[in-house]
Amino acid sequence: MEAPLLADRYTLGDLVGRGGMADVFRGHDRVLDRAVAVKVLRESTAEGSDRARFTSEARTLAQLSHSGLVTVLDAGVDIDRPFLVMELVDGDTLADRLRAGPLDLETAGSVGVQLAEALAYAHERGVVHRDVKPANVLLDPGGRVKLADFGIARLIGDTVRHTQTGHAIGTAAYLAPEQVQGGEVDGRSDVYSLGLVLLESLTGRREYPGGSVEAALARLSREPEVPADLPAEWRETLAAMTAVDRSARPSADQVVALLRGQLAAPVASPGPAPRAVMADTGSATRLMTEPVTRVAVVPPDAGTHQPRIDRWGGWLAGLPARAGRRWRRTEPHERGVVAALLALVAFLVVVALLDSGSADEPPRDETPVQLTGPLRGAVSTMLRALEVAQPVSGAGEESAPVEDEPTVEDDGADVQPGKGKGRDKNKDKGKGKNKG
């Protein structure tokens, strides 16, 4: 059987879709030798309003040129049967795709962005689609999305109606509340329908099922149920798009921005992938894929024990800085006292060196016994004045170690243990008598 031929140019092939008033066939353009989609008004359609809608769709699509909209290539009438030639989109509809299950967030977001961009383009030119639903969303193998079927689209503010006033037109499950009530529609009506399409894409279920009347009236009694397990940004966007009050809904341009922001948002990951390191097992080398934890080797009692020389070395190293800070905080009259004490210590040291040094006896490193007592007293007085040896607790300065305090040991050749102190006193007494 020979394939039908329209206008002596378009050969009709397999039926690829059916609408409320027309059928869509895969066709072939014999003039340009290319595959096309041909939409033909059914013969059983006798109402003048259907013909008017068909003609309106052709004229509307002819005014629009966008990558997210099906492109019109030609239009005409063959034996009193209007037809519309459009680009052929190979692939499934979104309705077909959802039969296999819901979409992931990234795919649903990409579909939503492309549809919102196409709607924003149409709205800017005063065109409202009025029938956004999964069956009118075409998906090609390359991931592109196209919005089809502008059969009931109309210009915003157009006074020519193809339906009776107060009569709802569109697919009941996706109608906006104002469409159900037969009120005026604008671009935000398409945004509501797109919100229901995205919600169904994420959940895999139609939000308002049932018959036409039941589905249409359900949205007037309750708002769509947005799953709580969706990310907060998605919940807020879907709730805004499907608000009953259309003044609270975002525009299609705003939906594009919202969905793009969600696609660009970073996705939480369980952590960086483990690095592959080589571990020696003794007999062979194996690949380890688990993260390697470095363990520091701590010697026993490292946290409580510190060599004595290290403690005193650190304390003495910080002594000049602490003394300098204390000196800057000292009052002028106190500085005079400290300077006098330092001068006394310096004088005693010089006297001791002159007294102990001679040509016949090599100099000794030890402090002379007769200066041990005065030096101790002078140093102690100086340290108390500077408050370095015992800084005030909580002042932020390091305290000197309290254990194992350094002592000045007398030479055993000159002073016997336990007797050196007594000998010094006797010498002092003798000196006193001679002076008298």
Count of helix runs (H) and strand runs (E) in the chain: 13, 13
Query: Alpha-carbon distance 432 to 335, whole Å?
Result: 34
Cβ neighbors of 284 (< 8 A, separation 6 or more) are none
Q: Do the beta carbons of residue 113 and residue 263 sit within 8 Å?
A: yes
Query: Alpha-carbon distance 103 to 108, whole Å?
Result: 6
Long-range contacts at 324-329 (CB < 8 A, ≥ 24 apart): 325/397, 326/386, 326/387, 326/388, 327/386
Q: Which of 352, 412, 340, 329 is nearest to 378 (CA)?
A: 340
Q: Do the beta carbons of residue 134 and residue 119 sit within 8 Å?
A: no
SS3 (DSSP) at 155: strand
Strands ordered across the beta sheet of 92-93: 92-93, 137-139, 145-147
CB neighbourhood size of 131 (10 A): 24
Instruction: Give the position of tokens 């709607």.
Output: 119
How buried is 320 (Cβ within 10 angstroms: 0-12 exposed, 13-18 middle, 19+ buried)?
exposed
Instruction: Give the position of tokens 């378009």.
Output: 10
Active site (annotated) includes residue 131: yes
Residues in a beta bridge with 154: 128
Catalytic residue among 50, 131, 190, 410: 131
Alpha helices in 40-175 (DSSP H): 48-63, 94-98, 105-124
Just list the catalytic residues: 131
